[in-house]
């Protein structure tokens, strides 16, 4: 038999009937397996006890501001794109108890809860989501202050990536160079074909798990089917974000009239930042009990769309929807480069689908870019350079 390889990687074949064996093996190794499952009329991430919990035979239909589940005409396990949840809810939990304080007779006893991190096995991580994890690694682990909660959970996690075989009209990973092919950052990567999964090994722990599965080297025919399944996703991507000089484009247009236009629609509701797999903002609050003798210090997901988030020196710095939307988008697409050396956007399209009024950031960028070649708006834009220079 010919042993097929791709990018110097041995590719194995896992029969569809053996998917449960993969889930069981991970569970036997002490992992809490989490992955796609149907709940609340959507494909969300939750506990996976067996393949039966996967959204078998379901897909998602997405457009700006709209998401619907739809029956597929096959029994695919991973035949959907991305849903409202992202893996950050496991690595950077929405609410974390970071410390407690108890009043003593003479002062305060402070302590940090020393809990064992959960050991997650993520099943079904898409290429854009692998890219998002890399970005959050940089945010939480790459600077002088390492986030201990994220660090422990990330180090303990096992990642089973799944290559996309279809795309939504909201997807634009090809513009952000993050997908749809999973190239690194996983322990195992699967590509679903009709009767099973092509499996690539991405790490030594991945290799150890694969060694205990009933896998065969993939045949060239199976490889070919995997290639065409993945190509289908590439072919379906229609949305584009032109990232040429995007940092300067946005930062040179901080007074552009488009910000006012988008603010008429933006609800400042925080949905885009909550569903974004890279948004990492939080606030830390001291939560005392009624007596004031016990205080919990909690860290919770927060958002630049909240007025209080920019509260400083007695006033919110960004006291309009316009300034908050601009802050979010310029950080995500422009100043993220200065801060972390990459874009903060992975092109997953969640902010577009889950915006209740369907604001599409790629269109907002396109509007600003288009005006650069339009002399009528050009004058407004050039005056904005002056204003920016004074700020």
CB of 153 to other proteins, least distance (A): 17
Candidates 195, 191, 201, 199; CA nearest to 216 is 199
CB of 346 to other proteins, least distance (A): 18
Task: Report residue 230 as tokens.
Answer: 């993945």
Between 225 and 318, CB nearer to other proteins: 318
Task: Work out the number of other CB atoms within 10 angstroms of the CB of residue 316.
Answer: 15
Sheet of 294-301: strand order equals 95-103, 294-301, 282-288
Between 158 and 354, CB nearer to other proteins: 354
The three-point CA angle 118-88-63 to 5° equals: 140
CB of 91 to other proteins, least distance (A): 14
Binding residues (CB under 8 A) for other proteins: these are 39-42, 44, 65-69, 83-85, 89, 94-95, 99, 104, 106-112, 114, 264-271, 274-275, 285-292, 300-303, 306-308, 320-321, 353-358
Contact 117, 153 (CB under 8 A): yes
Instruction: Give CA separation, 281 vs 135, 141, 310, 320, in Å.
Output: 13, 15, 12, 19
Between 85 and 154, CB nearer to other proteins: 85
Between 67 and 158, CB nearer to other proteins: 67
CB of 317 to other proteins, least distance (A): 14
CB of 178 to other proteins, least distance (A): 23
Between 3 and 267, CB nearer to other proteins: 267
35: number of CA atoms within 13 Å, CB side?
A: 30
CB of 274 to other proteins, least distance (A): 3
CB of 31 to other proteins, least distance (A): 20
Between 144 and 292, CB nearer to other proteins: 292
Between 161 and 359, CB nearer to other proteins: 359
Which residues contact residue 285 at a Cβ distance below 8 angstroms, ignoring those fewer than 6 apart? 297, 298, 300
Three-state SS for 277? Answer: coil
Three-state SS for 346? Answer: coil
Fill in the DSSP letter of residue 385. H
């Amino acid at each position: 038999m010919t042993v097929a390889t791709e990018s110097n990687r041995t590719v194995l074949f896992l029969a569809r009937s053996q998917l449960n064996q993969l889930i069981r093996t991970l569970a036997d190794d002490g992992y809490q397996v989490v992955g796609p499952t149907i709940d609340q009329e959507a494909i969300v991430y939750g506990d996976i006890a067996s393949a039966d919990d996967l959204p078998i035979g379901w897909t998602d239909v997405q457009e700006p501001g709209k998401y619907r589940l739809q029956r597929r005409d096959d029994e695919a396990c991973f035949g959907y794109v991305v849903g409202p949840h992202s893996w950050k809810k496991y690595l950077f939990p929405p609410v974390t108890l970071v410390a407690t304080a108890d009043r003593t007779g003479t002062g305060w006893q402070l302590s940090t809860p020393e809990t064992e991190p959960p050991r997650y096995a993520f099943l079904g991580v898409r290429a854009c989501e692998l890219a998002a994890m890399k970005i959050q690694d940089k945010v939480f682990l790459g600077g002088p202050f390492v986030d201990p909660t994220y660090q422990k959970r990330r180090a303990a996690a096992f990642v089973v990536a799944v290559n996309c075989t279809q795309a939504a009209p909201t997807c634009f990973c090809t513009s952000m160079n993050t997908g749809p092919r999973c190239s690194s950052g996983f322990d195992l990567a699967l590509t679903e074909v009709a009767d099973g999964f092509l499996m690539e090994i991405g790490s030594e722990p991945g290799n150890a798990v694969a060694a205990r599965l009933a896998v065969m080297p993939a045949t060239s025919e199976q490889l070919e089917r995997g290639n065409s399944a993945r190509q289908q996703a590439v072919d379906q991507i229609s949305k584009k974000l032109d990232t040429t000089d995007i940092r300067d484009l946005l930062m040179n247009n901080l007074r552009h009239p488009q910000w006012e236009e988008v603010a008429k629609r933006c609800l400042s509701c925080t949905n885009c930042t909550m569903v974004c797999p890279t948004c990492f903002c939080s606030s830390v609050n001291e939560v005392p009990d009624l007596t004031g003798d016990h205080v919990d210090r909690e860290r919770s997901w927060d958002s630049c769309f909240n007025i209080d988030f920019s509260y400083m020196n007695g006033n919110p710095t960004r006291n309009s929807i316009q300034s908050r939307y601009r802050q979010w988008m310029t950080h995500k697409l422009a100043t993220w480069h200065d801060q972390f050396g990459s874009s903060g956007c992975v092109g997953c399209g969640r902010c577009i689908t889950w915006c209740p009024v369907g604001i599409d950031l790629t269109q907002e960028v396109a509007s600003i870019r288009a005006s650069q070649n339009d002399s009528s708006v050009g004058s407004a834009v050039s005056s904005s350079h002056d204003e920016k220079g004074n700020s």
